[in-house]
Amino acid sequence: MNSYGVQHALLVGPNSGYNSDNACMCHALTTNPQRFRGIAVVANDASSEQLFALQKQGVVGVAFNSSLWGTAFYKDIEPLLHRLKELNMWAQFQVEADHLLDFSAIIEHSQVRVLIDHCGRPVPAKGVNQAGFAALLELGKTGQAVVKISGYAKFSALAYPFDDTTVFVEKLVDTFGLSNCMWASDWPYLKASPRLDYGTMLQLVAKQFSKSERHQLCG
């Protein structure tokens, strides 16, 4: 972060590896409370008290990763989304393909603030009209959600610079507006088969967005 002049970061607890043990991530938050905020992984029946305890440590939301666990794993999370709403916390969803369709109703009912990971991980060959991506665009129109402009390597069918992602990024920015888009590095690249690094991804975003646009994305 110091090398690339990154002043603030959202640290996301991984669903793999640590699972719902947030101790490492929460310790990282304590190293610089002004610089870091966190997204935790919790059990689907986590109580308001457990969420509040995490919130006091700098955690601002909870991660739901259907790309790893499937959508059925989260079939009973609506009460948890309501508890997040009550605490003014975020629900971060990492979905792919048409997964978002399985969550659209409970997101609407709960009115929780939503952060969608990695452009919703669409299937490039299916275009911007595929059902899951269309649902993401509809969510963007509500003002309830923010989308991460990130994770190209997770859904692109091409090598860097992932040219087949551009049309999706442009559509997301047009629909959500820059104020509801957030650039993310997706570092560390634990399962990337080709080498990726932070600087390379920053070079890519610098080509896609002007300096003023980057300030809005990363501010």
Tens-digit pLDDT string for the chain (219 aa): 888 888 899 999 988 778 899 999 999 999 999 999 999 999 999 999 999 999 999 999 999 999 999 999 999 999 999 999 999 999 999 999 999 999 999 999 999 999 999 999 999 999 999 999 999 999 999 999 999 999 999 999 999 999 999 999 999 999 999 999 999 999 888 777 788 889 999 999 999 999 999 888 865
What is the reported pTM?
0.95
Domain boundaries, the chain: 60-218
CA–CA distance, 219 with 214 (Å, rounded to integer): 8
CA–CA distance, 73 with 14 (Å, rounded to integer): 16
Sheet holding 113-116, edge to edge: 9-12, 36-40, 59-65, 90-94, 113-116, 145-149, 181-183
Interhelix angle 131-142/166-176, nearest 10 degrees = 30
CA-based torsion, 53, 57, 58, 64: positive or negative: negative
Is 60-218 CATH 3.20.20.70?
A: no
Let me know how long the chain is.
219
Strand ranges for the chain from DSSP E = 9-12, 36-40, 59-65, 90-94, 113-116, 145-149, 181-183
CA–CA distance, 68 with 15 (Å, rounded to integer): 8
